[in-house]
Structure 1
Amino acid sequence: MRFLIVSFDGLRPDLVSPDLTPNLCRLQALGVTLAEHRTIYPSETRCAFPSLITGAATAGHGMVGNKYIDRSVSPPRFVDTSDAVLLRKLDLASEGRLMSVPSLGEILAARGRPMAVLATNTAGTTRFFHHKAEDFGHVRLSGHFRDVCTPDGVLAAAEALVGKLPPAPPENEPDTAGQDWITSAFLSVVWPKYRPDVTVLSFGEPDITSHVHGTGAAATRGIIAHCDRQFGRVLDWWEAEGRTEDVQIMAISDHGHITGHTRVSVADCLRGAGFRPGIALGPDVDVVVVPGQVGALYLSDPRDEHVARLVAAIAGEVWCGPIFTRAKNETEGIAPGSLGNHLALGDHVRAPDVSFCFRADHGVDSFGLEGGTFYDNDRRSGLGVHGGLNPKELAAVGVIAGSAFSGRGAVSSAPTGICDIAPTILHLLGFSKPESMSGRILHEILEHDSKALPHVRRETFEARLGKFRQVLQRVHVGGTIYIESGTADG
């Protein structure tokens, strides 16, 4: 049995339709749709994909944001996880502990099973799918970045058959060439020659185009349709050959998008509250504001009283959504008005002193899509953003087909998440689920397992500070926790 995971970066499940994505819909007819599939918090790409390949939330693997401050070194270091070279250096310097738990590639390699990656995401994201591929001689190909490709001969073989590696397009142009190249490389080289036990084929779109043009814009819908056509090539192969080779196919996304409607400046607000914000800790900076759609604030002096002052400063702002700090008890964070970051499954040593979402709503944007939010970047309003706890950000595509899975055209309403993919794969390969994996095995959709769903229990947590009120909603399936939403008002 082998596995092919096909990812569409940033694709909202409600954009999957017969008109726009006929091939994804074809897969739905052949398999099981996970109707309540979710990502983790922060709903950022380089948090979510580490969760895919470790089966753990950010509290487990430690990739707490697309960007974060590493305080394990002196002076503290700013880490941008889009930088694949930096990620390799950090992994080597930490003796293989870039991520705090084993990845799927490592687990498979220890059992003599190869894993392959083909991706058009950033160089850092591509590395994250299998950050130790070069250590095991496994295949990792980027659709654009030579430095991430390994082993050397595989890229040469792919270029000989498929054509030269295309350069990354300008930011305002949808990436069509990259998706074509990795699809052809999989079909022409990686599958015929290597037949990996697990392959990740990751389309870096529609995420980039949504950020630049808007989630429902014509350009974004166009690149969604283009990626679906490439997926159609893969699905044709699967129906003709892959299925007879007992390949299980999984189509996923890592998060959704909502629309930024009102631009704000967190740094300006903190400056007005008497803080000295900056992008790096130093003599003139007492709080680092890490850029991104998820608020990540690191204090030069993170004592409880300073954290409380920082929370009080942002809780009074109209743009501020749910706030998390290190835990005071089973529910509360150390700062009044905050929830413990363990409730959002983010209590790792790298976690910010204060993390927050921008306040989001259920408004409908100009494209007819639900979900809007405040944002802090230099782009115009009306564009796609993600990272927070709006249900449309957390919702992710999940469609699975193959001999191991029950039903054709079935829909599973059981809560599932991105952390469940790796433990389910390992289970089907005959390996036990590692203790490091917080995700669960999806027994209820397996052909030869019990269809009984474990007990489902919902819970709500609330915190207040003056007029500010936040609510976090979670659901338990057995011992596995999924975050449903986080809201704030006041």
Structure 2
Amino acid sequence: MKFLIASFDGLRPDLISSELTPNIARVQELGVTLGRHTTVYPSETRAAFPSLVTGSAPVRHGMVGNKFVDRKSIPERYIDTSDAVLLDQLNRESGGHLMTAPTLGELLAASGKSLAVLATNTPGTTRLFHHKAEDFGHIRLSGHFPEACTPADVLAQIEVEFGKLPPAPATGQPDFSGQEWITSVFLDYVWPRLSPDVAVLSYGEPDTTSHFHGTGSSTTREIIAYCDAQFGRVLEWWEAEGQSAGVQLMLSSDHGHITAHTRVSVMDDLRMAGFAPGRAPDPDVDIVVVPGQVGALYLRDRAAAQVARLVEAMMDQPWCGPIFTAPRNEVEGIAPGSFASRLVLCDHDRAPDVYFAFRADDGIDQFGLAGGTFYDNDRVAGLGVHGGLHAKELAAVGIVAGSHFRGGGSVSTIPSGICDLAPTILHGLRLAVPSTMTGRVLREALASATQDNFEPHVEAENFEAGLGSFRQSLRRNVIGGTIYLEGGAAANDATATRKLEAAE
């Protein structure tokens, strides 16, 4: 038995259709659609894909966001995980502990099995799929960036046969060439010559195009259709050859998108509140504001009183959604009115002093898609963003097909998540699932599923916290200890909070 994970970065499940994505829809007809499939918080690519390959949430693997502050370095430094060379440096400096949970590639290698990665994401994301591929002689190929590729001799041979790596597209332009290149290399080189036990084929779109053109725009729909057509070549191979060779299909995305509607400046508002914010550690900076749609604030003075002062100032802002700080107990954070960061499984020592999601709503955008939010970047309103706790940001594609899984086009209504893919793969390969994994085996989707598997006990959890007129809520589902985030909301009065909850 072998596994192929085909991922589509940033694809909302509600954009899958027989018209726009006929090949993905075809897999839905053949297998099981995971109808309540979600990602992790932060709902960012380089927190989510490490969760896929470690089977664990950021609390275990330590990739706490696309960007973070490394407090262990002297002096402290700002880390952008899109940089594959920097990630390699960090891994070597840490003695191989860039990620603080074992990855699928490491676990497979320990059992004499292989993982191959082909991706058109950023070079850093590509490396994070299998950051120790060099140690095992495994294949990791980027559709554009040689610094993310290994082994060098394999890349050289592939470039002789398939041409040089295509250049990355201009900023904001859809990536067509990379998707075709990784598809061709998988079909005509990686599979026939190497036949890896597990392969990841990661299409880096429609994420980038959504960020620059809007989630439901014609340009974004065009690249979605193109990625689906490239995957269609894989599906044709799978139905003709791969399926009979025991290859199981897993289709995924790392998060969804919602639409940015109101631009704000967190730094300006914190400065008005009496703080000295900056983008990187500096003697004149008392709060590092990590740029991005995930609110991540690192304080120079980490005393509980200073954290509380910061959180209270944020609660007055119209852009502030759910807030998380270090745990005071199982539910409450050390700052009054905040949630404990362990509620969203991101209580890692790399985590910021304050996480927050931008306040979101269920407004309908110009493309007819639900989900809108405040945002803090230099782009115009109307474009796609992600990172927070709106249900459409958390919703991820989850489809499985093959002899290991039930067929017939069924839809599972059992909560599932991105952390469940790795343990399900290990189970299928008859390998042990390590205790570091926070995900579970998707037994309800297996061909061997029993009636008990179809109806596991699902415990719905609802949490509330607040201070003064600020109120926030968080919804989770739990199956046998595995936690799935369903959504979070915040408002400056209880009535508005209830309205947000009802809308979601």
TM-score normalized by the length of structure 2: 0.96
8 Å contact 2:78–2:281 — kept in the other structure? no
**1:197 to 2:197 alignment:** yes
Partner of 2:65: 65
Tell me whether 1:27 sits opposite 2:17 in the alignment: no
Tell me, yes or no, if structure 1 residue 320 matches structure 2 residue 320.
yes
CA contact (8 A) 1:443 1:451 kept: no
Of 294-303 and 69-78, more deviation after overlay is shown by 69-78
CA distance in 1, matches of 2:369, 2:157: 43
Partner of 2:161: 161
Structure 2 stretches lacking a partner, 5+ long: 493-504
Structure 2 match to 1:52: 52
Contact 2:12 2:255 in 1 (8 A): yes
CA contact 1:66–1:81 (8 Å) conserved in 2: yes
SS of residue in 2 equivalent to 1:250 = strand
Say whether 1:365 aligns with 2:365: yes
Contact 1:445 1:451 in 2 (8 A): no
Alignment correspondent of 1:134: 134
The alignment partner of 2:141 has SS state of: strand
Structure 2 counterpart of 1:471, one-letter code? S
In the TM superposition, residue 337 of structure 1 has moved relative to its aligned partner by 1.2
- Kindly indicate whether residue 153 of structure 2 is the aligned counterpart of residue 119 of structure 1: no
1:95 counterpart letter in structure 2: G
SS in 1 for 2:425: helix
d(CA) in 2 for partners of 1:320 and 1:389? Answer: 12
1:408-442 Cα deviation digits (max 9, x unpaired): 21111110000000000001100121000000001
What RMSD over aligned residues (CA atoms) do the two structures have, in Å? 0.7
Checking the alignment, whether the CA contact within 8 Å between 2:261 and 2:382 is kept in structure 1 is yes
Displacement, 1:284?
A: 1.1
Distance 1:279 1:164 in 2: 37
Give the drift of 1:211.
0.2
Residue 445 of structure 1: CA displacement? 1.1
How far 1:281 sits from its partner (Å)?
2.2
Q: Given residue 96 of structure 1, which amino acid in structure 2 is its aligned partner?
A: G
Q: CA deviation at 1:195?
A: 0.2
The match for 1:177 is 177
Deviations 1:13-37 (A, max 9, x none): 0000011000000111111100000
For 1:107, the aligned partner's letter is: L
The residue matched to 1:343 in structure 2 has which SS? helix
Equivalent residue number for residue 381 of structure 1: 381
Partner residue, 2:284: 284
Cα offset, 1:486, TM superposition: 0.5
Mapped to 1, the partners of 2:329 and 2:172 lie a distance apart of 46
Shift of 1:160: 2.6
Unaligned runs of 5+ in 1: none
- The residue that corresponds to 1:11 in the other structure is 11
Structure 1 position 449, deviation (Å): 3.7
Partners of 2:35 and 2:210 in 1: CA distance: 23
Residue 466 of structure 1 aligns with which residue?
468
**3-state SS in 1 of match to 2:342:** coil
- How far residue 451 of structure 1 moved from its aligned partner, in angstroms, is 4.1
Q: Which residue of 1 aligns with 2:269?
A: 269
Deviates more, 1:444-453 or 1:233-242: 444-453
Aligned length: 490
Which residue in 2 is equivalent to 1:476?
478
The residue type paired with residue 178 of structure 2 is G
Letter in 1 for 2:354: V
Q: Distance in 1 between the 2:456 and 2:348 partners?
A: 28
The question of 1:257 aligning with 2:257 is answered yes
CA–CA separation in structure 1 for the residues paired with 2:173 and 2:129: 25
Aligned position for 2:403: 403
- Cα distance between partner residues in 1 of 2:287 and 2:204: 33
2:342 counterpart of 1:342: yes
Distance in 1, Cα, partners of 2:294 & 2:451: 37
Q: Structure 1 CA distance, aligned partners of 2:236 and 2:118?
A: 18
> TM-score, normalising length from structure 1?
0.99
What SS class does the counterpart of residue 464 from structure 1 fall into?
Answer: strand
Q: Which residue of 2 aligns with 1:295?
A: 295
Which residue identity does 1:204 align to in structure 2? G
Identity of aligned residues (%): 65
Task: Find the counterpart in structure 2 of residue 224 from structure 1.
Answer: 224
Contact 1:161 1:188 in 2 (8 A): no
Alignment check: 8 A CA contact 1:68 1:350 kept:
yes
On the 8 A contact 1:157/1:189 being kept in 2, the answer is: no
SS in structure 2 opposite 1:96?
A: coil
2:97 corresponds to which residue? 97
Letter in 2 for 1:69: V
Alpha-carbon separation, structure 2, partners of 1:202 and 1:285: 38
Shift of 1:43: 0.2
Structure-1 separation of matches of 2:21 and 2:282: 49
**Counterpart Cα distance in 2 of 1:259 and 1:399:** 25
How far apart in 2 are the matches of 1:203 and 1:417? 19
